[in-house]
Structure formats: structure tokens, C-alpha cells
């Protein structure tokens, strides 16, 4: 368990993006190759109200909870709420429901809208529930481990508490992903390490 708040990664400068010249490439379905996860994903095929862009690098996976409302919230409901807020659409790449179903949010290779100043190099996973008052289900934790294991293989990420983080590790003005889920992250990371090595 962590005994002190980790220092969040600092926003990267454009010249640090391995040859990225400073301009983001618009995402074009059918043209841009999207990696295939090694776990079952429920496709949603959302319409986005704004242009999406290809993420130039992937170094961190950020874990979130829905918060309010608590209970089992779908990716579709989150997408509708984000559209209502005049955003392009759902900001997370995945939503994990309480029965363990993993639903698609934004296309995996696109820039998300889930962690201020860190979206350019991170993937966002949101678990349904308010984990200040609820516990994540066993099915959610198992699906999270499975999804993280797949993403770590796709992006050659070494699982650690620097690469798999809670939203509050990145942005200090939030309690997301809630205490009860945050306390599960060391176990989750250990399981991802074990599965990645097997």
C-alpha cells in the first residue's frame, strides 16, 4: 500500500513525443488501425459530436469510477451525459459494468477526455459505481485485470503504480476512483504483472 501521495507525471512537451511534430492527427475510422484487445469488448459504435484525434503515445492507464450516480451505469448513459455537457462524447476508452462486461467508450487509439493535462498519453478506464460508498464487484476487478493485462501487452507497458494509476494520482482535485477501488489497485497491479509474465 502507498504511504505517501505520489508525484503525478508532468505534462509532456511536444518534442518529447518521439518525433511527433506538435500537430495531432485526426482519427479516421477505417484508415487508422486500432489494436485488438485480447478480451471481450462490447462494441457501442457511438457518434461523437466533435473531432477525435489519434493519441501519439501511450504510457499510463488511468482508473476512474462513475461516482455519481452510484450503481450500474452504462457507457451509453455516460456518453449521453457528456454530450449533454457539450463535450464530444464519452471521455473514457472503456466502461466496466458491475457484471464485468467491458463496454467500448472512445476508440482505443484516440485521445481521451478523462484526466486533465494527461489525456495525450493515457488510456482511461471507468468502472460503474461510486466506490466511496460501494465496493467494486469481483467481476469488475477480474475484467479490469484482464483488460489491463491486454493493454499492457499492446503498448509494452510494464505494470506498476506509476503506469496503472487512479485518477487522483494524476489530478489532485478529485477523489476518483473512490477509496474502495483505489485500495484494490495494488492487488490489481500485482495480478497484471503475474499474468503478463505467464
Which pLDDT value is given to residue 189? Answer: 98
Based on the number of CB atoms within 10 Å of its own CB, is 29 exposed (0-12), middle (13-18) or buried (19 or more)? Answer: exposed
pTM of the model: 0.88
pLDDT tens-digit profile of 145-188? 999 999 999 999 999 999 999 999 999 999 999 999 999 999 99
pLDDT confidence tier of residue 70, bands split at 50, 70 and 90: confident
pLDDT confidence tier of residue 195, bands split at 50, 70 and 90: confident
**Residue that the C-alpha cell 464485468 belongs to:** 100
C-alpha cell at 42: 462490447
Helix (H), strand (E), coil (C) string for the chain: CCCCCCCCCCCCCHHHCCCCCCCCCECCCCCCCCCCCCCCCECCCCCCCCCCEECCCCCEEEEEECCCCCCCCCHHHHHHHHHHCCCCCCCCCEEECCCCCEEECCCCCECCCCCCCCHHHEEEEEECCCCCCCCCCHHHHHHHHHHHHHHHHHCCCCCCCCCEEEHHHHCCCCCCCCHHHHCCHHHHHHHHHHHHHC
Q: List the chain domain ranges.
A: 39-197
pLDDT tens-digit profile of 110-135? 999 999 999 999 999 999 999 999 99
Q: Encode 115-144: b = buried (16+ Cβ within 10 Å), e = exposed.
A: beebbbbbbbbbbbbbbbebebbeebbebb
pLDDT tens-digit profile of 28-63? 998 999 999 999 999 999 999 999 999 999 999 999
Q: What is the mean pLDDT of residues 5-32?
A: 60
Q: For the chain, what's the residue count?
A: 198
pLDDT confidence tier of residue 95, bands split at 50, 70 and 90: very high
Which pLDDT value is given to residue 22? Answer: 53
Structural fold of domain 39-197: Lysozyme-like (3.40.80)
Amino acid at each position: 500500500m502507498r504511504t505517501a501521495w505520489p508525484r503525478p507525471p508532468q505534462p509532456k512537451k511536444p518534442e518529447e513525443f518521439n518525433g511527433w511534430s506538435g500537430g495531432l492527427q485526426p482519427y479516421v475510422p477505417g484508415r487508422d488501425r486500432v489494436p485488438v484487445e485480447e478480451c471481450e469488448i462490447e462494441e457501442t459504435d457511438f457518434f461523437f459530436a466533435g473531432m477525435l484525434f489519434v493519441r501519439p503515445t501511450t504510457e499510463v492507464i488511468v482508473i476512474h469510477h462513475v461516482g455519481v450516480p452510484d450503481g450500474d451505469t452504462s457507457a451509453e448513459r455516460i456518453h449521453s451525459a457528456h454530450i449533454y455537457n457539450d463535450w464530444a462524447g464519452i471521455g473514457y476508452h472503456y466502461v466496466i459494468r458491475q457484471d464485468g462486461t467491458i463496454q467500448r467508450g472512445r476508440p482505443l487509439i484516440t485521445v481521451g477526455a478523462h484526466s486533465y493535462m494527461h489525456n495525450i498519453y493515457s488510456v482511461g478506464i471507468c468502472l460503474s459505481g461510486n466506490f466511496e460508498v460501494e465496493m467494486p464487484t469481483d467481476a469488475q476487478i477480474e475484467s479490469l485485470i484482464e483488460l489491463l493485462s491486454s493493454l499492457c501487452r499492446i503498448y509494452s507497458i510494464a505494470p506498476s503504480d506509476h503506469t496503472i494509476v487512479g485518477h487522483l494520482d494524476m489530478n489532485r482535485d478529485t477523489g476518483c476512483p473512490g477509496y474502495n477501488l483505489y485500495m484494490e489497485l495494488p492487488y490489481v497491479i500485482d495480478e497484471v504483472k503475474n499474468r503478463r509474465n505467464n
